[in-house]
Structure 1
Amino acid sequence: MGKNKGSRITITLECECKNNKNTNKRSNGVFRYASSKNKKNTPSRIEIKKFCPHCNCHEIFKEIK
Structure 2
Amino acid sequence: MAGKKVALACTVCGSRNYTITENAQRAERLEVRKFCKHCGKHTLHKETR
TM range (shorter): 0.7 to 0.9
Identity %: 29
Match of 1:26?
none
* Unmatched tracts of structure 1, length 5 or more: 20-29
2:4 and 2:31 map into 1 onto residues whose CA distance is 16
Match of 2:8?
13
Equivalenced residues, count: 49
Q: Name whichever structure is richer in strand by fraction.
A: 2
What SS is found at the alignment partner of 2:27? coil
1:1-65 equivalence runs, <5 A:
9-18=4-13, 30-40=15-25, 42-65=26-49
Q: Name whichever structure is richer in helix by fraction.
A: 1
1:38 and 1:63 map into 2 onto residues whose CA distance is 11
CA RMSD in angstroms, aligned pairs only: 2.0
Could you state the TM-score of these two structures normalised by the residue count of structure 2? 0.75
2:37 and 2:22 map into 1 onto residues whose CA distance is 23
Could you state the TM-score of these two structures normalised by the residue count of structure 1? 0.60
